[in-house]
Amino acid sequence: MNGIPIGSIGTGKIEFFPDLTIDNVTIMNNWSNPRRSIRGFHIVKDGIFLQTNPGKNIENPPEYRKVKKIISKEKFPIITYEIPEVNTTVTVFSIINKSLKDSSLPAIVFHVKGEGVFAISFPNLVGSRREGRENYAIKRKINGVLFTNEKALQQDPAYGNMFLGCIGCKVFAGYSYLRPSRKGMTEDITPLLELRESDYYKIEPYAREEIAGIVWKEVHGEEKFILSWYFNGRPYNYPYGHYYENWFNNSYEVAEYVLLNDLKPELEDEDSWINEVYRDGLYVLTYSWLTKDGRFAVYEDPEVTLLMNTIGTMTYDAVSFALLELYPDLVKKMDEYFGLFLRNGEVPHDLGEESIESPIYGASSNYPWTDLASTWVLMMYRDYKFTNDLDFLKRNYEKMKEAIDYLLSLDKDKDCIPDSKGGLDNSYDGTYMFGASSYVASMFLCALRAFISASKILGKDSSNYEDCLRKGMETYNSLFNGKYFIAWKSSNTKKESCMSSQLLGQFWCELLSLEPIADEEKIISALKSIYELNYKASKYCLVNSVNPDGSIDTETDQMRSCWSRVAFAVSAHMILKGLKEEGLEIAKREWETIKSLGVWNQSSRIDAITGKKVGLPYYIGSVSPWFIKYAIKLVNSVRNEAQ
């Protein structure tokens, strides 16, 4: 089970659980290696622990006076705890708004409502080893505990400092909370009950301690406490520094900025399941990097691949759609940065394995992928379309042309569709496709439309590409079997399964207001077939590939799976094409399945037969529900204009 990850862009996160405990901490440049079994964190009111299991990581817990019931409500990046028996509410949040500076602050706010003395303790986690940890009382505009480590070196991911405090707090700088007992290690909770002040505490040489600090305040109504951090080392796994280093010198300065400016999350907050699925999908931002020089990247997943900004089939390409609304300059910068790594027009799969400077071309060497360059061209045209930045389009036009020409070089049979040559040459990994694939063809044709549009905007000749577009559309339309576009067809064989991604390129064209790549009636027919076949074949999710008889295609694990990121795109496409009821039905069931499997660890795949999550954990694709929100907005806009 995972708690809701509370953190901001590039800062790491702390997971908060329904019982108001924490775990899986990644604030110390350790996204792929969480610190687990955290002890020493408590919130106490008048001697009563506001946690139902305060000793969950203690071998022999002491006798806590604790609450019996907590009602929690989560919506990223916020969790609210209602504790009726002590008439108290605790809301925990990080800052996500339209300011990139504010949305990359390494801080978590605890907003308490109630009457009484509230105390919060937190452990010193500075330095990968305990030796050298020191706690200092700070009494300035904000009072609190500064956590440091005099022995930590800059190569240590946990080099830096942390701060816990509030305006007007009283401070107990530190104590050793883990103690031996007759039945194993226990926790010393005396300081949380006595609440006396002290200014300094350190782990003495040769001692093996876990130490924490405490802040407390008498509250009449409400108060905000804050935990902030500042891990500015340059470890081997992350030598880039943090964006927050441009404005702050330590964690105290971060805390002062957040509290004195009364910062809070500012995301759309309507009471609907659509807003819920969109907001909660943004949790993957806590698995992101934002470097000191402003480069941004998200893990494809932080445990297995460790690849950054993977594109294709609505991975980083979906994340960047959502972020364009919030941080357009950041998205344009990173999409343009991708272009630096074009290799004779071939676009990389990602920016590297825990790196943003060592891209990988396809997931396997020597297997050029046929969908990545199309994806990148569409991303570049999208960035222009959504921001009206003509200079951006001018700067990147030649790179876009290079990518299109590379894709045409893969077209050996001259049907103006990049040839599929078997497995390992597109985002479906080991799934074999040959000749013209409906997924690959749709992506290429829309990318070609985008490039031709860019050419006309810039006054460039695109006649040769227009001829190819017409021929490629003929090839694509030849895949239509009267109901949908079949998976693929080569000169001597074909596969007639119905794939959920057969219209993915056309969906891009809809979003970018480009002309269609197929006749309207064929598009509607294919969407209806996806509903009848791919949706109805599983009781859990939208299946990647379904046979003509309605059975699930079990040729490969990818085919028998559901990619929720594509399901939400298909749902949005249906909404745009007037099939709103079917689209929302697909999306809502997908979301219910995701919730049953765990919102805060959405996998890359769901097995359509068993309904279990499989594939890569904490997957980058969770942001794709943004498409549903955007599709509804577009439809409503058109309706309002018509009125």
Tokens of 75: 């919506």
Rg of the Cα trace of the chain?
27
For all residues of the chain together, what is the average pLDDT? 96
In one letter, which amino acid is 454?
A: A
* Per-residue burial over 318-327, b = 16 or more CB atoms within 10 Å of its CB, e = otherwise: bbbbbbbebb
- Residue 529's SS3 state is helix
At residue 423 the predicted structure's pLDDT band, cuts being 50, 70 and 90, is confident
pLDDT of residue 271: 86
At residue 492 the predicted structure's pLDDT band, cuts being 50, 70 and 90, is confident
Q: Is 540 exposed, middle or buried (0-12, 13-18, 19+ CB in 10 A)?
A: buried
Q: Find, among 31, 67, 29, the residue nearest to 47 by Cα.
A: 67
- Residue 118's SS3 state is strand
- CB-hemisphere CA count at 13 Å for 144? 28
The full DSSP string for 337-397 is HHGGG-BTTBPPS-S-BS-SSS--SSSSTT---SSHHHHHHHHHHHHHHHHT-HHHHHHHH
Residues 6+ apart with CB under 8 A from 129: 151, 152
* 8 A C-beta contact, residue 123 and residue 40: yes
pLDDT of residue 643: 66
Q: Give dist(CA 281, CA 75) in Å, integer.
A: 10
Q: What percent of the chain has pLDDT over 90?
A: 94
**Alpha helices per DSSP H over 60-170:** none
- Residue 530's SS3 state is helix
pLDDT in tens, 59-100: 999 999 999 999 999 999 999 999 999 999 999 999 999 999
At residue 364 the predicted structure's pLDDT band, cuts being 50, 70 and 90, is low
Q: How many other C-beta atoms lie within 10 A of the C-beta of residue 391?
A: 8
The residue assigned the tokens 């068993």 is 610
The residue assigned the tokens 């070089």 is 409
pTM summary value: 0.96
pLDDT in tens, 310-359: 999 999 999 999 999 999 999 999 999 999 999 999 999 999 999 999 99
Whole-Å CA distances, 294 to 53, 299, 318: 40, 16, 20
